[in-house]
Amino acid sequence: MNIASAIFDCSAPDLASCPDEALPEFAFIGRSNVGKSSLLNLLAGKERLARVSPTPGFTKLINIFTINKTWRLVDLPGYGFAQVARQDSSKFNEAVLDYLEHRTNLCRVFALIESGLPPQEIDLQFVEWLTSKAVPFVLVFTKTDKILPAVVEANIAAFMERIAAWFEKPPTSFTCSAAAGHGRKELLRVIDEAMKAINAVAGPSSTNPEFNPNLTANERARENRKRRPDLNRPW
Ligand SMILES: Nc1nc2c(ncn2[C@@H]2O[C@H](COP(=O)(O)OP(=O)(O)O)[C@@H](O)[C@H]2O)c(=O)[nH]1
Ligand SMILES: [Mg+2]
């Protein structure tokens, strides 16, 4: 897939402030500083689209970008910074959880994990939460340039082992390094496949009786939401 345009759409403080649900969204989430904004920029091919910061906890808003006028990238605030351990769910930003659980046009989540660290409890808890809410996600192990390949491999194997019991089939995972420019192809493949699946289901096809060309994008989003079985997003 070629990225012809990547445009900043808006910064939303919560789900209610997000734009209409007309376009499929792909969201980046992970601990503060894991490399979400850097990877998003690598994907979009624009160095300064999303703000990269050496200071953890910088992004507190849901930042939304429209790509090729047909889908969106979403840079979510990171978790695990400046939060005193209270109850489990309070470690995570409520607006982010709300977005992840209820955004009906959320197509895939890229859950970023730092490849240089052994499994961290907060990442494991977050992946467990995603799993419990049936949010479709892939795991992306970041910053592989910082660490020996053998250590990366060992950390990934340990992480996959910790989560193995939660799945019949382990989630898709791959590695990336925004610094070295690795992982873009894999990210794009996930998006490409998801977009093809969406078009097959929701596309303007005479074989799809549910497709009504007279609906506006917002009306269609509303219809999608009504049809959504709880454990199976329409997109
Ligand atoms: N070595 C290395 N540093 C990275 C990589 N990706 C991001 N960083 C650095 O990690 C810090 C946090 O990156 P950022 O993208 O803002 O992380 P975010 O908080 O998850 O959005 C910045 O100083 C980046 O330059 C990478 O692939 N390799
Ligand atoms: Mg960021």
Separation of alpha carbons 130 and 101, rounded Å: 8
Ligand nearest to the CA of 62: 2
Per the DSSP assignment, residues forming a β-bridge with 98 are: none
Amino acid at 25: E
Is residue 139 over pLDDT 70?
A: yes
* 8 Å CB contact between 233 and 103: no
Is residue 89 over pLDDT 60?
A: no
* Ligand 1 touching residue 143 (CB < 6 A): yes
Chain segment 43-62, per-residue pLDDT in tens: 999 888 888 877 766 668 99
* 8 Å CB contact between 175 and 209: no
Chain segment 151-202, per-residue pLDDT in tens: 999 999 999 999 999 999 999 999 999 999 999 999 999 999 999 988 887 6
| pLDDT over 90 percentage in the chain | 68
Separation of alpha carbons 120 and 81, rounded Å: 13
User: What atom in ligand 1 is closest to the CA of residue 34?
Assistant: 20
**Of 71-75, 151-155, 209-213, which gets the smallest average pLDDT?**
209-213
The pair of three-digit structure tokens given for residue 44, joined into one six-digit string: 């979009």
Q: Write down the pTM of the prediction.
A: 0.85
Separation of alpha carbons 30 and 144, rounded Å: 16
How close is the Cα of 104 to the center of ligand 1, in Å? 29
Separation of alpha carbons 66 and 225, rounded Å: 21
User: What atom in ligand 1 is closest to the CA of residue 177?
Assistant: 27
CA distances from 95 to 3, 55, 221 (A): 29, 21, 20
